[in-house]
Amino acid sequence: MKIALDAMGGDVAPDVPVAGAVEALSELPESCEILLVGRKAEVTAALEKHGGARPRLTLVEAPEVVEMGDKPLAAVRGKPHSSIAVGLGLHKTGEAQAFISAGNTGAVMAASTLLLRLHPGVDRPAIGTIFPTMAQPVLVLDAGANVDCSARELSGFAHIGAVYARDVMGRPDPSVGLLNIGEEQEKGNAAVKEAHNLLAHASAFRFVGNVEGRDILTGECDVVVCDGFVGNIILKFYESVAKLVRELVAREMDPTVLESPGMTNVFRTLDYSEIGGAPLLGVRGVSIICHGRSTSRAIKNAIKVALQSVQSNLSQHIGAEFAGDGAAV
Amino acid sequence: MKIALDAMGGDVAPDVPVAGAVEALSELPESCEILLVGRKAEVTAALEKHGGARPRLTLVEAPEVVEMGDKPLAAVRGKPHSSIAVGLGLHKTGEAQAFISAGNTGAVMAASTLLLRLHPGVDRPAIGTIFPTMAQPVLVLDAGANVDCSARELSGFAHIGAVYARDVMGRPDPSVGLLNIGEEQEKGNAAVKEAHNLLAHASAFRFVGNVEGRDILTGECDVVVCDGFVGNIILKFYESVAKLVRELVAREMDPTVLESPGMTNVFRTLDYSEIGGAPLLGVRGVSIICHGRSTSRAIKNAIKVALQSVQSNLSQHIGAEFAGDGAAV
């Protein structure tokens, strides 16, 4: 199996993606190879810092780079030889079985949708994000691919999310909640109320009804469904709360407490970016978007998630979920 | 000045509201009185536990009680002698200058809007919530009064929030941000994009443009505007993060750390419920909604916020902001 990794994506590229790939190789099965896609000269230089060339690591030239500030569609059309376009091209032709990037999120999303296309029956792709909880992590989707969602689209996210929970998160009988402002069925805006009705008839997973903002982190649901406007705001808010807690602890406590193993564990749990990227679900293939600030550990974890997604036939299962008359929605 | 307090509202009523009133009296100016509204026998019994009858504390009979599970409109219409209806009636007739309740949020909101009415020009009232930050607290509104909001309504919340920030939070030159999924003007759903255009022309406050989920807790904005669907979800999510952090610290650290003065300060900062209730803004008067789980300290703080709201002529200023041709929106 080959995984294409955007070596030019992220705030510290190509150094961090290259380091993540090197770290991953030592933990991946022997049959797994990584294609580092980017400007060969720069990637080679970065690789030298991490032990140099080695088996199962192949460099693929991509002369253009999508910058973080580029407009997504303009970047896809104007830079056909970017590491994102070339990497996704390798996946599309079957030379790689998955693609990972910590680059411009909008561009990765647009390019993945345009190049890989969506499974028939899927109206919109969704970004899935893993939130840490005290119990098992929870999948929240959509985390930002779609700002306005119809009830049918929200229902589609539930089906996609349930497949991901089964295939990648190891939840054989996933429970799905609909994010809302109250538990009662009649609560919420028009789209959410109608989505509730659609989901009440779903048989592919356990629909547990509406869940509130306070219920996400209890870990009682495997999947929480919302539109991308709400999901994106919560995702970024969560990140900032962890930062606030760290600042408060630094202000109020002995500085050594912040460095203690216990507190390190607390913040490692809160730092969802370590968990391994956000899959773009609904496309025909495996495309994983990492935070621009990803560490090499986060990249390594994303590579493992990609491996698990390929091995479990995630994309095929999502396709099957939507195949046939009204199967999923 | 007289403040009417719903003695029957909240998870531990009348005990907690009565205790909060007693605590507040010792800190309020001599000219300030509290009217405890509820079933006199029960309120008297609760008061006995907190030192008994005293000057500046008057009991007002209200034989009915709105339960937490009651439907808001049904409660308002079916229980005209509830502590909520009687307390708001005292405010409406001028016998009290403000009303506070930790009871059924929906019922307090509906009864406040029906009995006090809205200022001319205000389309919808908004629940304002104070989020603690490292710097100054930030006002987030709407936190749940309206699930679907038009651009005009979002713009109205900005005007209302700016007046509150000036009058009650001591921000002479308030900055207002529009909650969105990106900083760029073209981001977001239709309502938010149009609201951005409306707010760009506002002169009554500093509009700082779009802010993201991660920007709320930096404390850089005095006011953050969103619809009640998003606001309510974030509010409840914030609450749950604080709970998760507490559980993580308990699991990972020596138990004595959780009890240390430093950590107590950390969680006191994160516990926004202590800050003093959520004002229902846009109604003609001062109506403050407290969390059902409010402590006596939270009730005391809400009473102080009510006092400040009355003394600063908050309601009159909101009315003036919307008076005249297109003044506010």
Nearest CA in chain A to B219: A244
A240 contacts B252? CB cut-off 8 A: no
Q: Which of B189, B233, B262 sits opposite A234 (nearest CB)?
A: B233
Mean pLDDT value across residues A244-257 = 87
Residue B29 lies in a domain: yes
Is residue B307 a part of any domain in this protein? no
Any domain includes B314: no
Note whether B229 contacts A257, CB cutoff 8 Å.
no
pLDDT at A31: 94
A contacts of B190 (beta carbons < 8 Å): 148
- Give the pLDDT mean for A19-28: 96
pLDDT-based confidence at residue B275 (cuts at 50, 70, 90) = confident
Residue B273, pLDDT > 70, answer: no
pLDDT above 90 (res B183): no
Please list, in sequence order, all residues whose beta carbon lies within 8 angstroms of the beta carbon of residue A232, skipping any fewer than 6 positions away. Answer: A143, A144, B181, B212, B213
In chain A, residues with a C-beta closer than 8 Å to the C-beta of B253 are 260, 262-263, 266
Say whether A188 and B147 touch across the interface (CB within 8 A).
yes
pLDDT at B324: 67
Whether B76 is covered by a domain: the verdict is yes
Residue A183's pLDDT is what?
86
Q: Using CB atoms, which residue from A214, A230, A247 is nearest to B239?
A: A214
Contact B253 A262 (CB under 8 A): yes
Once rounded to an integer, what is the mean pLDDT over residues B4-8?
Answer: 98
- Residue B329 has a pLDDT of 56
Q: What is the ipTM of this complex?
A: 0.91
Mean pLDDT of B147-175: 96
B24-50: pLDDT as tens digits:
999 999 999 999 999 999 999 999 999
Of B134, B148, B239, the CB nearest to A189: B148
Give yes or no: residues B101 and B210 share one domain: no
In the predicted model, is pLDDT for residue B210 greater than 70?
Answer: yes
Same domain, A191 and A297: no
Q: Are strands A278-281 and A287-289 parallel, antiparallel or unpaired?
A: antiparallel
Tell me what pLDDT residue A268 has.
84
Q: What is the pLDDT of residue A256?
A: 84
Nearest CA in chain A to B133: A244
Average pLDDT over residues A115-123: 96
Cα A7–Cα A13–Cα A16 angle in degrees, nearest 5: 85
Of the candidates B133, B252, B260, which has its C-beta nearest A244's C-beta? B133
Digit-coded pLDDT (tens) for A39-56: 999 999 999 999 999 999
Highest mean pLDDT: which range of A262-276, B52-66, B273-287: B52-66
Specify the pLDDT at position A324: 67
In B, which residues are within 8 Å of A251 by CB distance? 134
Residues B143 and B192 both lie in one domain: yes
Of the candidates A123, A84, A141, which has an alpha carbon nearest to the alpha carbon of residue A283?
A: A123
* Confidence at residue B243, expressed as pLDDT on a 0 to 100 scale: 87
Looking at the structure, tell me whether residues B89 and B44 fall in a common domain: yes
A326 domain-assigned: no
- Same domain for B10 and B55, yes or no, is yes
Q: Considering only A11-15, A81-85, A186-190, B45-49, which range has the smallest mean pLDDT?
A: A186-190
Is the pLDDT at B206 greater than 90? The verdict is: yes
Residue B244 within any structural domain of the chain: yes
Residues B84 and B145 in one domain: no
Q: B274: pLDDT confidence band, cut at 50, 70 and 90?
A: low
Mutate to test the interface with B, among A149, A266, A291 (most CBs of B within 10 A): A266
Per-residue 3-state assignment (H helix, E strand, C coil) for chain B: CEEEEECCCCCCCCHHHHHHHHHHHCCCCCCCEEEEEECHHHHHHHHHHCCCCCCCEEEEECCECCCCCCCHHHHHHHCCCEHHHHHHHHHHCCCCCEEEECCCHHHHHHHHHHHHCECCCCCCCEECEEECCCCCCEEEECCCCCCCCCHHHHHHHHHHHHHHHHHCCCCCCCEEEEECCCCCCCCCCHHHHHHHHHHHCCCCCEEEEEECHHHHHHCCCCEEECCHHHHHHHHHHHHHHHHHHHHHHHHHCCHHHHHCHHHHHHHHHHCHHHHCCEEEECECCCEEECCCCCCHHHHHHHHHHHHHHHHCCHHHHHHHHHCCCCCCC
Q: How confident is the model at residue A233 (pLDDT cuts 50, 70, 90)?
A: very high
pLDDT of residue A12: 95
| pLDDT recorded at residue B327 | 57
A11/A34 same-domain check: yes
Question: A50: which strand partners?
Answer: none
> Is the pLDDT assigned to residue A329 strictly greater than 60?
no
Mean pLDDT estimate for chain B: 93
In a domain, A325, yes or no: no
pLDDT at residue B135 tops 90: no
Residue B179 has pLDDT above 90, yes or no: yes
Q: State which residue of chain A sits closest to B248, comparing Cα positions.
A: A266
Does residue B93 share a domain with residue B225? Answer: no
**pLDDT (tens digit per residue) in A157-171:** 999 999 999 999 999
The yes-or-no verdict on residue A135 having pLDDT over 90 is no
Question: Do A131 and A268 fall into the same domain?
Answer: yes
* Chain A positions in Cβ-Cβ contact with residue B270 (cut-off 8 Å): 244-245, 248
Q: Note whether A263 contacts B243, CB cutoff 8 Å.
A: no
Is B253 inside any structural domain?
A: yes
How far is residue B182's CA from residue B180's CA, in Å, rounded to a whole number?
6
CATH code (residue A112)? 3.40.718.10
Portion of chain B with pLDDT greater than 90, in percent: 78
Which of B144, B148, B240 is nearest residue A217 as measured by Cβ atoms? B240
Strands A278-281 and A126-131, bridge-based pairing: antiparallel
Residue B191 has pLDDT above 70, yes or no: yes
Domain residues for A299? 2-122+282-313
Residue B325 has pLDDT above 60, yes or no: no
Q: Are residues B76 and B149 in the same domain?
A: no
What would the pLDDT profile of B230-268 be if each residue is shown by its tens digit?
A: 999 999 999 898 889 888 988 998 888 888 899 888 888
Query: Is B129 in the same domain as B209?
Result: yes
Nearest CA in chain A to B252: A262
The count of C-alpha atoms lying within 13 angstroms of the C-alpha of A296, restricted to the half-sphere facing its C-beta, is 14
Give B328's pLDDT tier (boundaries 50, 70, 90). Answer: low
User: A248, A251, A263: which to substitute to probe chain B, counting the most B Cβ within 10 Å?
Assistant: A248
Rounded-to-integer distance, Cα B153 and Cα B231, Å: 14
Question: Mean of the per-residue pLDDT values for chain A?
Answer: 93
Q: Which pLDDT belongs to residue A267?
A: 87
Alpha carbon of A225: minimum distance to chain B alpha carbons (Å): 13
| Structural domains in chain B (count) | 2
Residue A16 shares a structural domain with residue A94: yes
Q: Closest partner residue to A235 among B134, B213, B262, by Cβ?
A: B213
